[in-house]
Amino acid sequence: MFLKSQNFVFSYFYGKSDYEKCRVILLRVNEILENNVHQKFRMPCYFIQWAELYISLNEIEKAEKCLSKAEKLLFSQKNIAIKDLSCIGDYIDVANIYINLSNNSDKTNFQKAEKILKYVEEVVNEKRRNDRFSKLAIYYCLGKLYFKEQRWEYSKLYNQKSFDLYKKFTYNPNVARDLKHRIDSLMKYWKFMDRKFKINT
């Protein structure tokens, strides 16, 4: 139960920029994971949170090491990722952070993000065809990646895909509330993209 609730607690303090409390939470999680082999599948999420913390502290090299650890763990437990939506979300989170850290002078992080997202896109299309939330996140991240990399046609393609899929969602107050910050972010991004690509937001 602690490991599930700690995500919300971490997010709360991270949102308030209380990085010392975030560090304390993650150290406590480390103790639990070291003593409980049945919780090892949560390790990628743990390293993702460390990466986010290090980025906020401008310790980019440490953040990239944590991302690399999360990526290796995820690709070593592919069968779990196919079955577990939260694990698929971890793949997408790692890719998104790589995109945020990427720049055109070094294509390494672009390549890492694209590899992860293309793998997850393949898994979702094959095993989870009705998983529209994952598809939306994948398309959005690929659109963002290709835009940042200045591959305009690919960016336009995936941003249009993400927007078209978003319009098909059935309204659900609970889902809307849970995803409000993400949807707000998406809408701002699509409006920006519309000025460049005319995707009709």
Q: How far is CA 131 from the centre of its chain?
A: 16
Q: Is residue 106 part of a domain?
A: no
Q: What is the count of structural domains for the chain?
A: 1
Q: Is residue 10 part of a domain?
A: yes
Q: Is residue 59 part of a domain?
A: yes
Residue 47, domain extent: 1-76
**Per-residue pLDDT, 187:** 63
Q: Is residue 92 part of a domain?
A: no
Tokens of 87: 């694990």
Per cent of the chain over pLDDT 70 is 74
Q: Is residue 184 part of a domain?
A: no
Q: Is residue 3 part of a domain?
A: yes
pLDDT of residue 164 exceeding 90, the answer is no
pTM for this model (two decimals): 0.79
Kindly indicate the confidence band of residue 114, based on its pLDDT and cuts at 50, 70 and 90. Answer: very high
Radius of gyration of the chain (CA): 17
Name the residue among 108, 99, 41 with its Cα closest to residue 70: 41
Q: What is the mean pLDDT of residues 82-110?
A: 82
Q: Is residue 35 part of a domain?
A: yes
Q: Return the higher-pLDDT residue of 59 and 37.
A: 59
Q: Is residue 58 part of a domain?
A: yes
